[in-house]
Amino acid sequence: MDVRTLGALVRGTDGSLAGERVETRRERQSPDNDADLVQPEDYARWRKSRLGAITERIEQDAIFALSGDLGGKRVLDLGSGDGTYSVLAYQRGAHVVGLDLSGAMLEASRRRAAVCGSAIEWCQASAHLLPFSSSAFDLVIAVTALCFVKDPVRAAKEIARVLRPGGSLIIGELGRYSPWAFLRRVRGWIGSSRWRHARFWTLQQIRGLFQQAGLDFRSARGCVYYPPIGAAARLLGDRDRFLSPLGEIGAAFLAVRGDKPRQADSCRNQDSIVAPSTNRRLQRAS
């Protein structure tokens, strides 16, 4: 399936991206949306720091270690930010749709993809109401996305809907039991709107989330066991993978995979669905 075919999954009958106009308004109005507080330049500054560069490499390795071969797969990068994971998935052979609520992030994503020569579809929409047909994707990647959404259970159920039976969800989330989580909580207590409502997860909570969404827990790995200090990252970054057997204790980042059962009712929600933001019908994925 080429990118134009994949694009048909998200475009309305007039060729516009489903959800774009209404979600732009929702982004401005919603007091529960913390994701818009993160700007593309925040990512750029983070990656330029030694701490950020090392930490992001470790997190990316953890996510793609769980994904397996992406060649030819239909991948949704949910909460795509400035497009880093979308581009990496594309470079691994996937057909990619990147979705984010922030228009500024999507614009940064388009620029990043253009520089990298990546043909990726971009969609502005809410994780709570995905404008895609059921069973549209083989894999959904959601990195530090569910920690900021208002209703993670609803978002997880939407993700399960757009996954084909046998498809996988891989999430990268903020671990609860780490120095990073403690410092971020403190920042929330003293006034940071970004961290005030952020969720810090345990593996048990993520298992429960998957269960409520109808997904089977497959595997998990913890990483980023060093404190948020550049010198610690330089000293311990290359050794971080050896600490993964510690599990969630001390891990700032949890990479977790859940699979949609192959025996799921493949007829459920398989008819054409109504794109909630455009009131146009999207055709079921072939």
Tokens 């593309």 belong to 40
**Binning pLDDT at 50, 70 and 90, where does residue 275 land?**
very low
Measured CA distances, 39 to 6, 58, 127 (Å): 28, 22, 18
Domains of the chain: 3-264 (3.40.50.150)
Tell me the C-alpha distance between 46 and 194, whole Å. Answer: 16
Global pTM value: 0.80
Averaged pLDDT of the chain: 83
- Give the pLDDT confidence of 213-232 residue by residue, as tens digits: 999 999 999 999 999 999 99
How would DSSP label each residue in 127-152? TTS--S-TT-EEEEEEES-TTTSS-H
CA distances from 159 to 34, 156, 169 (A): 20, 5, 8
Handedness of CA 123, 116, 77, 187 (dihedral sign): negative
Note the pLDDT tens digit of each residue in 22-68.
Answer: 333 233 333 344 443 678 888 889 999 999 999 999 999 999 999 99
Query: What is the pLDDT at residue 261?
Result: 96
pLDDT score, position 2: 45
**286: number of CA atoms within 13 Å, CB side?**
6
Quote the CA–CA distance of 119 and 110 in Å, as a whole number. Answer: 9
Token pair for residue 207?
């298992």
Phi, psi (rounded to 5 degrees) for 154: -60, -40
Task: Reply yes or no on whether the pLDDT at 253 is more than 50.
Answer: yes
- Residues with Cβ within 8 Å of 58's Cβ and at least 6 positions away in sequence, in order, are 223, 224, 237, 240, 241, 253
pLDDT computed for residue 142 by the predictor? 98
